[in-house]
Copies of this chain bind each other. A is one copy, B any other.
Amino acid sequence: MERCVGGDMHPSYRILMGPGPSNVHYRVYQAMSNPVIGYLDPQILACMDEIREMLRNVFQTKNQATLAISATGSSGMETSYVNFVEPGDVVVIGVNGFFADRMTQVAARCGANVIRVEEEWGKRIEPEKMIKALKEHPEARICGLVHGETSTGVRQPLEEIGAYCKRTDTLLVVDAVTTLGGYDVKVDEWGIDVCYGSSQKCLSVPPGLSPITVSSKAMDVLRSRTTKVQSFYLDLILLEKYWGEERVYHHTAPVSMFYAMREGLRIVFEEGLEARFRRHEMLGDRLKMELEGLGFKLFAQEGYRLSMLTSVVLPERVDDAKIRSRLLNEYNIEVGGGLGWLKGKIWRVGLMGEACRVRNIHCLMGALGEILS
Contact = CB atoms under 8 A, between A and B. Distances in A.
Interface residues of A, number: 86
A12 interface: yes
Contact of A233 (B74, B270, B339): B74
A251 interface: yes
Given A33-B29, A109-B232, A21 B2 contact: no
Contact of A208 (B29, B31, B77, B254): B254
Given A3-B269, A11-B43, A253 B206 contact: no
Given A231-B231, A232-B78, A34 B10 contact: yes
Given A21-B39, A73-B251, A9 B269 contact: no
Interface stretch (A120-128, A257-265, A358-366): A257-265
Contacts of A82: 231
Interface stretch (A46-54, A163-171, A289-297, A312-320): A46-54
Interface in A22-52: 23-24, 29-39, 41, 43-44, 47, 50
A334 B37 contact: yes
Nearest to A20: B252
Nearest to A61: B1
Interface in A48-65: 50, 53-54, 57, 60
Given A12-B43, A41-B14, A70-B72, A6 B266 contact: yes
B252 A198 contact: yes
Contact of A12 (B9, B31, B37): B37
B208 A4 contact: no
Nearest to A263: B9
Given A72-B70, A78-B231, A108-B228, A207 B5 contact: no
A270 B72 contact: no
B207 A39 contact: yes
Contacts of A260: 256
Given A72-B70, A272-B2, A38 B57 contact: no
A38 B71 contact: no
Interface string A93-126: 0000000001001101110000000000000000
A9 to B, nearest CB: 6
Contact of A334 (B29, B38, B270): B38
Nearest to A17: B38
Contact of A75 (B16, B73, B233): B233
B72 A251 contact: yes
A37 B38 CA distance: 28
Contacts of A29: 32-33
B108 A207 contact: no
Interface string A182-214: 000000000000000010100000111000000
Contacts of A5: 50, 53-54, 262, 265-266, 269
Contacts of A341: none
A255 interface: yes
Q: Which 5 A-B pairs have the closest CB atoms?
A: A208-B254, A4-B269, A71-B71, A29-B33, A206-B256
28 contacts: A1-B60, A2-B269, A4-B266, A6-B50, A6-B266, A9-B31, A9-B259, A11-B35, A14-B37, A14-B38, A14-B41, A16-B38, A18-B38, A20-B252, A21-B37, A21-B255, A24-B35, A29-B32, A30-B33, A36-B200, A38-B334, A39-B207, A71-B71, A72-B253, A72-B254, A74-B251, A77-B232, A110-B230
